[in-house]
Amino acid sequence: FLFLLTNQKRKKKNDFTYDDEDIFSPDGAALAIRGIRALKPPLPYWAGFLKCLSNPCDPTMNPEGYIALCMAENKLVQESFARRLMQPATAINAFSDSVVYGYNSFLGLPSAREAAAYFLARRFLRARDGGHSSMYGSDLGGIMKPNSSSEADENSPPTSTPFIDRIDPEHVALSSGAAAVLNSLFFSLANPGEAVLIPAPYYAAFENDMIVRHINYILTLRFIL
């Protein structure tokens, strides 16, 4: 199949009219535009990042080393995570269900999605009385509920404004990091040639994460911090 597909591309070489990209190698093999982008030099900060990795700073052993500010890792919580993950109860709860040993939902394990929904609701949502919301709220039937006239007061949003008091685990999808999330998101939402707005300053790798596969243009919005 791959051989036939390659031959089809060779036969249709004249159909491609990319003025700024020589997508055909001398022997006639073709690459997709995404492949050509992947062959271009990396983002400008990459050389500095590699330099930081070759000489990392350590408060005791190497105080003159470099600190990579472009890397979004919170190493201050590693010890806490390690203590939690090495507890026997953690392993029992995580691996006692047979579903974890085979194919399961591409959105993530149900138990993990429930835990994520619970955390998001507790951390970011507020109940009507101003306290913290629970994962399921007071109504299991829906996520967004308009305020009724009996519930509304001067501090309530307008009746037409839906009130979010819970996060449904069925509406939660898990992925392995921000790059994978952005990849899936823009694959679903963006068309070739469209642009995305990013508040600046921002994580530099976002440019590569979006441009390499889906987005053609990135427009930065400068914010004064």
Q: Among 31-40, 122-131, 156-165, where is mean pLDDT lowest?
A: 156-165
Tokens read off for 58: 């350590």
Domain boundaries, the chain: 2-39, 110-171, 178-222
HSE (side-chain half, CA atoms, 13 Å) at 207: 16
Count, residues in the chain = 225
- The 3-state secondary structure of 11-53 reads HCHHHCCCCCCCCECCCCCECCHHHHHHHCCCCCCHHHHHHHH
**Residue 198 pairs with which residues in a beta bridge?**
220
Section 133-148 average pLDDT: 45
More confident residue, 125 or 67: 67
Question: Which of 4-13, 22-31, 172-181 is the most confident on average?
Answer: 172-181
Q: What is the pLDDT of residue 30?
A: 73
Q: What is the pLDDT of residue 162?
A: 59
Q: Among 97-111, 149-163, 192-206, where is mean pLDDT lowest?
A: 149-163
What is the reported pTM? Answer: 0.58
Q: What is the pLDDT of residue 117?
A: 94
Q: Among 3-17, 57-71, 159-173, where is mean pLDDT lowest?
A: 3-17
Task: Give the number of other CB atoms < 10 A from CB of residue 147.
Answer: 17
